[in-house]
Structure formats: C-alpha cells, structure tokens
Amino acid sequence: MLKILTAALLLSAFPSNAALINVSSVEQFNNLVNEKKPIILKFSADYCPPCKITAKPFEELSQEPEFNNIQFIELDIQSLVGQPLSMQYNVLGVPTFIFIQDGNEIKRIVGLDHPAKFKEDFRSKLKEIFVQAPQKQDEEIMAIEVEEELSAPEPTEEREEQRTSESAGAFKQLWLSIRAFFIFMFDKLKEILRYIINLIKGIFGW
C-alpha cells in the first residue's frame, strides 16, 4: 500500500507536457498571450450542458502530443478571471472557443452543433488553424521568394542585348509596313492608269 501511494505521489509531481492551463489571474493570462504561442481559449459556465459535454474531450485534446505547442485554457465566465476576459473578448454565449495566434484572435466558434462528433471535428479544426495553416504560409513564402528570384532584373549586358534585339525587330516591322504601303499605292496607281487608257480608247474609238 505504501508503494502505491509513493508511486501516485511521484506521478502527480510530474504533470504531462500538454494539459489545460490553470489561469488564476488576468495578468497571468496576458503573460501567456504575450508569449506568442497558439492559444485555444474556452469560455464555459456551470449551468451550460454543452459546456459539460465538451469539457472532457477538450481536456483530452490538450493532452495529445500533436498539440503540445498549443496552450489550452478554459475559463468560467462567472469566475473572477473569466468575467473580465469574457467582456474583453465580447463573449455573448457559451461554450465559446477562441483561437488566438500571435496575440490576436483569428477564429471563434460559438455553441455546439454535433455533440457526438465534437472531439473529431475540433481536432480537425485545431490542425487546420494551428498546424496546417503555418505550413501553408511557409510554402506561400517560399513560392513568393522563388517568383522574386525568377523576376529579378537581368544583368546589364543581357538587358542591352535584349534592347538591341527589340529595336532591330521594331525597325524591321516598320520597314515591312512602309514597303507594304508603297506596293499597295503602286498597284492602285496602275489601276488608275489602266482606267484612264481605256477611257481614252473609248472616246477616240481605238
């Protein structure tokens, strides 16, 4: 019996890496926000059945290794800490889940639509916002950097050669246009001469 109690005490002395954070003051919460780590903030109330339904799955998600970098916080809107923070975040109903990234709210979910699928749906939402979104942003940044490299100014010599080639092409196009114009005028002049000659022949009966 003594061994069991000793083991229990040792286990309780080493909390898991990811779990619900107990926030005891607004100052402590602000310090957590200033750390710029992802935060999922849940506002609940004792009188709210959906809050109780989501309580256990929410805590279980906080213990999943995939979400170790996310700070899970649950506050009662009637508590000394929850009341001012619920006013600060303009919480109008419970449960309300607020996703915070770099100190800013980026998404909010209010209420509970599918109790049986809450854990599965919420896990997907956490991945979408806090896991996959940063990876996508990194890929977009890399794509922009590659595009900037491809669109970077060419060396001076290459630009001069390109300008010379473009000038030669423009001159050639101008010359072809002038040549086509004179050929057109020459053909019209021949038609006019033929008309005048035929007219004279008709007058004099030739």
171 within some domain: yes
User: Based on the domain organization, do 131 and 168 belong to the same domain?
Assistant: no
Structural domain boundaries, residue 74 = 2-148
99-to-43, 129, 130 alpha-carbon distances in Å: 12, 8, 9
What predicted TM-score, i.e. pTM, was given to this entire model? 0.59
Instruction: Answer for the pair 111, 97: CB distance below 8 angstroms, yes or no.
Output: no
Q: How far apart are CA 83 and CA 25, in angstroms?
A: 11
Please report the pLDDT score of residue 10 as a whole number: 45
Say whether both 41 and 97 belong to one domain: yes
Number of domains, the chain: 2
User: Where does residue 29 fall: left (phi above 0), alpha (psi -120 to 50 degrees), or beta otherwise?
Assistant: alpha
In a domain, 155, yes or no: no
What is the three-class DSSP state of 170? helix
* Token couple for 176: 């072809």
In a domain, 43, yes or no: yes
From first to last of its 206 residues, what are the pLDDT tens digits of the chain? Answer: 455 444 444 444 444 445 899 999 999 999 999 998 999 999 999 999 999 999 999 999 999 999 999 999 999 999 999 999 999 999 999 999 999 999 999 999 999 999 999 999 999 999 999 988 655 555 555 656 656 666 655 556 666 777 776 666 666 666 666 766 667 677 777 778 888 888 787 787 76
Apex 75 CA angle, 70 and 77, nearest 5 = 145
Please check whether residues 56 and 109 belong to one and the same domain.
yes
Indicate which residues carry an active-site annotation: 48, 51
- Can you list the positions of beta strands (E) in the chain? 20-21, 39-44, 71-76, 96-101, 104-110
What does R_g of the chain's alpha carbons equal in angstroms? 39
* Contact indicator for 18, 62 with CB cutoff of 8 Å: yes
Q: Which helix (H) or strand (E) holds 117?
A: none
pLDDT of residue 16: 43
C-alpha span between 41 and 72 (Å, rounded): 6
Structural domain ending residue among the three candidates 148, 169, 197 = 148
**What amino acid occupies position 205?**
G
